[in-house]
Structure 1
Amino acid sequence: MLADEHSTSLFKKAHGLTFWEMADKNDSFNQSINNAMVSDSNFLMDIILRECGDVFLGINSLIDVAGGHGGAASAIAKAFPQMKCTVLDLPHVVEEAPTDDHVSFISGDMFKYIPPADALFLKWVFHDWGDEDCVKILKKCKEAIPPREAGGKVIIVDMVVGSGPNEIVTRETQVFFDLFIMFLEGIEREEFEWKNIFMQAGFSEYKIISMLGVRSVIELYP
């Protein structure tokens, strides 16, 4: 596949394939990505569960969308053993996932279908995609969850530019990530940009919980 001369993806310009196409075709690259995501979850989920674990209260079933090898889902399931936790990811990811007594895995494409659950969890997903694709994912999310009065919500862990401590290291890190995510043609969003895609997808309300410097937890309601 030849790199698209109109693409701004630095990864595709360098390799002739998108980041996701490379993961599908190269086993060692795919494994490296999944290992990195598990390491990130091992670090982050302890903090999320300690600082804002209330976002998971009352949820009976949760799907970790694009959850890789289940690092985040496993941590949530252990903290809330009554919750049924499932990971949805692409076939080449799921087939290499380790066995986990607390988490089940489903092979699928979040752009096409997300199985129903009380809540959906998406960590470091939306910044990988442009607005149009994010709206598509969010519409599939909205179809998968019950109404708000029945407990339905989407829990997002991602960057909200301008949120968090007003410190130089936070601002520098946000700028760094804004440049870094260009390799995927991704976007780091300010609150008004998040609100725009939420409203386009048909959601009614959201709440941002700033934590861990550059990352936030967003509760999104239908």
Structure 2
Amino acid sequence: MGSNSIDSESSAELLQAEADIIRHSVGYLTSIALQCAVKLRIPDAIHRCGGSASMAELLAALAVPIPPAKQPYLWRLMKVLAMQGVFVAKGGDGDVYQLNTMSRLLLDDERGIWPGVLLATTPQFMGSAMRIGEWFTSEEDVEVTAFIMANGQNPHDTGGVDAEFNSIFNKTMAADSRFVADLVVRQCAEVFKGIGSLVDVAGGTGTMARAIAKAFPHVKCSVLDLAHVIQEISPEADNNNNVEFIAGDMMEFIPPADVILLKYVLHNWTDEDSVKILKRCREAVISHAGNGKVIIIDAVVGTPSPGLDLLQTQLLMDMEMMSLFMAKERYEHEWSKIIKEAGFTNYKIQPILGLRSVIELYI
């Protein structure tokens, strides 16, 4: 018998291993359960009940009606969601459900990040995940990602031909920016001290720039993005005169400023392209003041000495970036490599945004 025989394992170890394999094999149902909670607006229904609801109260409060014949089965979904920590189950039979921090982030309000749940479970994203195994064995070029194999084009091009996908993609980006903008201005005030101007590269509709300009009125903020993004922004919708929108390609030119901000940009790009972007950022800072800096908001895998949940999330995000763009979430040594190749002399990492860190690059 070979040395890898499982005969020496105890029954308890074997049974636990079997349970773990089954749990991981059907783990996609956790994602679908979360999707159901969002589509049925369960958090909002519980919120309308004052933050706590019995099954009967929950069913009565749902804005998305469930046919009577299917209502008795909702408790099975709620038990899965409560087990995963999305809700708190109370009562003798666990038939009263309460909101917690996680489910409050799924409310349909200005801080809700629920669109990301729908994006991650779109047929395009799920189909991409299903092609990863095939991608590893395919003779296609490495740049033909699992997403392209599943959908025939990259995510950005898919958004151009699929209105529903484009809508949820844009909602996800906006919701994410709102959520992080609030935390950035709260947690990172010192980062913006002593600066007069900032360019948010690939800043979309300007959610982050508006938040910075509002919190730090002394900072003149600009947003750089592609022309088709900027054209969608109505001047009347922006009453903040301290934010300017500029159409352009970051690969070609970045407007000069004291600070260049890259929020969730570089994890969408290869190391080679990231170095090109960082060199453009460095040129922009040098041409403006010479002693400014670049601020990156992105994941540093394994930082800040995260618990297992944080690290697992970062690694899953990394796998998603691989399947979507052949990009990645980076460890510190990977960040250090591209930062130095781009010509920066030093950097500082502040692990103060949960999954993501604030990285300051110095000329």
State the TM-score, normalized to the length of structure 1: 0.91
Return the structure number with greater helix share: 2
Q: Using the alignment, how far apart are the partners of 2:289 and 2:213 within structure 1?
A: 23
**Is 1:211 matched with 2:346?**
no
The answer (yes or no) to whether the contact 2:258–2:288 under 8 Å persists in 1 is no
Worse-matched range after superposition: 39-48 or 198-207: 39-48
SS of alignment partner, residue 335 of structure 2: helix
- Gap change, CA 1:41 and 1:190, over 3 Å in 2: same
Q: Using the alignment, how far apart are the partners of 1:155 and 1:195 within structure 2?
A: 14
**Is 1:104 matched with 2:244?**
yes
Gaps of 5+ in 1: none
Q: How many pairs does the alignment contain?
A: 219
Write the mapping of 1:17-28 to structure 2, written as runs, cut at 5 A: 17-24=153-160, 26=162
Write the mapping of 1:30-41 to structure 2, written as runs, cut at 5 A: 30-41=166-177
**Is 1:117 matched with 2:257?**
yes
Q: Using the alignment, how far apart are the partners of 1:149 and 1:118 within structure 2?
A: 6
Higher relative contact order by CA 8 Å / sep ≥ 6: 1 or 2?
Answer: 1
1:192 maps to 333
Q: Using the alignment, how far apart are the partners of 1:73 and 1:30 within structure 2?
A: 22
2:293 maps to 153
**Is 1:66 matched with 2:194?**
no
The answer (yes or no) to whether the contact 1:89–1:110 under 8 Å persists in 2 is yes
Structure 2 counterpart of 1:177, one-letter code = M
2:216 maps to 80
Q: Using the alignment, how far apart are the partners of 2:288 and 2:222 within structure 1?
A: 21
The answer (yes or no) to whether the contact 2:256–2:287 under 8 Å persists in 1 is no
Deviation digits for residues 108-150 of structure 1 (CA, Å, limit 9, x no counterpart) = 1000110111111111000000100000001100110138985
Percentage of identical aligned residues: 48
**Is 1:48 matched with 2:48?**
no
1:5 maps to 140
Q: Using the alignment, how far apart are the partners of 1:89 and 1:30 within structure 2?
A: 17
2:12 maps to none
Cα offset for 1:21?
A: 2.7
SS of alignment partner, residue 245 of structure 2: strand
Structure 2 counterpart of 1:115, one-letter code = P
Q: Using the alignment, how far apart are the partners of 2:276 and 2:353 within structure 1?
A: 28
The answer (yes or no) to whether the contact 1:34–1:69 under 8 Å persists in 2 is no
SS of alignment partner, residue 161 of structure 1: coil
Query: Which protein has the larger Cα radius of gyration, Structure 1 or Structure 2?
Result: 2
The answer (yes or no) to whether the contact 1:148–1:221 under 8 Å persists in 2 is no
Q: Using the alignment, how far apart are the partners of 2:314 and 2:188 within structure 1?
A: 22
The answer (yes or no) to whether the contact 2:257–2:288 under 8 Å persists in 1 is no
Worse-matched range after superposition: 118-127 or 25-34: 25-34
